[in-house]
Structure 1
Amino acid sequence: MLVLTRDGLPELYRAASRISRRGQRRVVQLNLVLILAGLASGIFALFGGQDGPAWHAWADAMAALWFAVAAVGGAMLNAGRAHRRWFDGRAAAESTKTLTWKYVMRAEPFEDDSTADALFIERLGEIRPMIHGAGSADGVRGGWLLAPDRAISPMMRSLRNAEVPDKRAVYRTHRLADQIRWYQDKAAAADHSSWRWRLATIVLGCCGVAGATARAAGWSDLDALGLAAAGLASIAAWTQLRQYMQNAAAYRLALRELLVIHENSGRPGYDQVTWGDFCERAEYAISREHTMWRARAG
């Protein structure tokens, strides 16, 4: 059965994906250190002070310690290395996937069998510098990623040599439908996360107001408003990092375009030339996403 799975894509795709995932994890980890350490520092500072029990001095020391941890995490994050690995890796992986689908569908510029393989490997070589700085630990140095057996899999060759109806069925299922599902799932997940954090913000704000009212009335000495403010600042920093609402809107925009492309791909009358042209235009539309990643990395 003709398919093109992740295992059938060039090795460069898998190497770039690994680099991107590691960079993303690192960015999230450093942001969590910055946010949680800053929150802990603010909470301990609320209980510190020169007056009162001896443990107030201990609270001040802990506030200073956690502030130092937050500062180190922020410095590492602002160095930008993790961001570059994340964005450059994602851009390289998606660029490789686009080239692969154009190659197997015989889209421009891979129509001619006499030049297609060499040109495909040459184009992969233009992508590799995006992730070359990741280092030998990620397996991207040297020319092994561009070796023909690493760049062009048997799965790719079989699909390239298939008849147009078979190619179209694979492209609609394993490229367009997969992309559509991915955008649908991502948009739904972003909406759900955005809703949860909005709810947390409302609850925390109500708790802060209630705590401030209780303190003003003399019912409590706890600075609940200060605690709530620290919590709200942490939530704001986290949601700014994840950009749930912006991502959901971007996913839906891409989804609408993909649905139109998927519908057009089912129309009758395609031969190899017209199908190749269609796939070239479809991949151009899809490639705008990894162009965005590359711009964010710059």
Structure 2
Amino acid sequence: MEPIRLTRADLPELYRVASAMAHTGQRRVVRLTMVLLCSGLASGVLALFGGRSGPSWHAWADTMAAALFATAAVGGALLSSGKAHRRWYDGRAAAESIKTLSWKYTMRAGSLGDDSAADALFCLRLTQVRAEIEQLGRADRRSLAPAAMLTPAMRRLRAAPLTVRRAVYLEQRIRDQIEWYSGKAGQAERRARAWQLLTAVIGTAGVCGALARSRGMVEVDALGLAAAFLASIAAWSELRQYWPNAAAYRLTLRELNVIEQQAGEVPDDPGEWRAFCEHAEYAVSREHTMWRVRAH
């Protein structure tokens, strides 16, 4: 007998629509931020070498600096409109909501425990999520088809014995989330430390350059350059939110570890298992609640 699994490919089609929307929005936010920061930084660097005095290429430096500054301004205007951010955050919140609903359906948790009404209620909930996505013009009519909402893998897992559903939930939901959050927390912490180190190096270089200029050893405004670089690093770090994300991931990770321990204490009783899954999904859904708050 083929083992039962519930992968991302087995979730409703609407999950992939929302996830794709989130990835598109995220890529656009990152690209616009890079255009803003890199163009602005390059403009500042070239402006240091501008002016009528000196070699003829100094005048071209002024022209290039102006063009790059204009590019940065356009990128900043597009970024500040908030459209890309809303697409990113709303898409991620919707995707996580759909995933939570899907696991509740397969585990018969909460209001989705009644077989006579579960299918209709699940489709209604997904339709409500889809209505929010449709405001951004990304939903596909095919995602509302019953076969796209309730996949064969979901129906199969829901119909499986409690012992099977329990094993699948612990392995493919709880432990999968623990591994994901653990990896993300470590990654965020490593990147935060790397940017901290770079900040310290650039700050030190700026101070040394300023001291050298005060003694007539160099003419370049090293302190101004360092300040521009540090401002760009600060803006990038604010976008990526390394330390806040690491803290949020660690918090959720601790909750998931507690849930995993509690799972071993839940008896093989359908009612108690449904209550446990409802509680577990409430903890896991903290992420899409966070994304919803960011979006609005």
Q: TM-score, normalised by structure 1?
A: 0.96
Partner of 2:28: helix, strand, or coil? helix
2:154 maps to a residue whose letter is M
**Which of 209, 212, 215 is the matching residue for 1:214?**
212
Query: Partner of 2:197 in structure 1?
Result: 199
Q: What is the Cα deviation at residue 114 of structure 1?
A: 1.3
Q: What is the Cα deviation at residue 178 of structure 1?
A: 0.7
Matched, 1:17 2:15: no
> How many angstroms apart in 2 are the aligned matches of 1:58 and 1:133?
46
Query: Partner of 1:2 in structure 2?
Result: 4
Ranges in structure 1 where 5+ consecutive residues have no aligned partner: none
Q: What is the Cα deviation at residue 128 of structure 1?
A: 0.7
| C-alpha contact (below 8 Å) 1:89/1:130 kept by paired residues | no
Ranges in structure 2 where 5+ consecutive residues have no aligned partner: none
Query: Partner of 1:95 in structure 2?
Result: 97
The RMSD of aligned alpha carbons is 1.1
> How many angstroms apart in 1 are the aligned matches of 2:198 and 2:51?
30
**Cα deviation code 1:197-231 (max 9, x no counterpart):** 01101111111111112111111112211111111
**Cα deviation code 1:78-112 (max 9, x no counterpart):** 11111111000001000000000000000111111
Query: Partner of 1:35 in structure 2?
Result: 37
Query: Partner of 1:123 in structure 2?
Result: 125
> How many angstroms apart in 2 are the aligned matches of 1:41 and 1:255?
43
1:263 maps to a residue whose letter is Q
Partner of 1:103: helix, strand, or coil? helix
Partner of 1:270: helix, strand, or coil? coil
Matched, 1:111 2:109: no
Q: TM-score, normalised by structure 2?
A: 0.97
**Cα deviation code 1:158-207 (max 9, x no counterpart):** 11011111111100111000111111001000000001001101111111
2:179 maps to a residue whose letter is R
| C-alpha contact (below 8 Å) 1:46/1:226 kept by paired residues | no
Partner of 2:98: helix, strand, or coil? helix
Q: What is the Cα deviation at residue 268 of structure 1?
A: 4.7
> How many angstroms apart in 1 are the aligned matches of 2:77 and 2:268?
55
Identity of aligned residues (%): 59
**Which of 151, 157, 160 is the matching residue for 1:159?**
157
1:121-270 superposed matches below 5 A: 121-135=123-137, 138=138, 140-142=139-141, 144-270=142-268
1:216 maps to a residue whose letter is S
Partner of 1:128: helix, strand, or coil? helix
> How many angstroms apart in 2 are the aligned matches of 1:118 and 1:196?
50
**Which of 283, 287, 292 is the matching residue for 1:289?**
287
> How many angstroms apart in 2 are the aligned matches of 1:270 and 1:264?
13
**Which of 19, 44, 48 is the matching residue for 1:46?**
48
Q: What is the Cα deviation at residue 34 of structure 1?
A: 0.4
> How many angstroms apart in 1 are the aligned matches of 2:69 and 2:41?
9
Q: What is the Cα deviation at residue 270 of structure 1?
A: 2.8
> How many angstroms apart in 2 are the aligned matches of 1:104 and 1:280?
12
**Which of 68, 84, 87 is the matching residue for 2:86?**
84
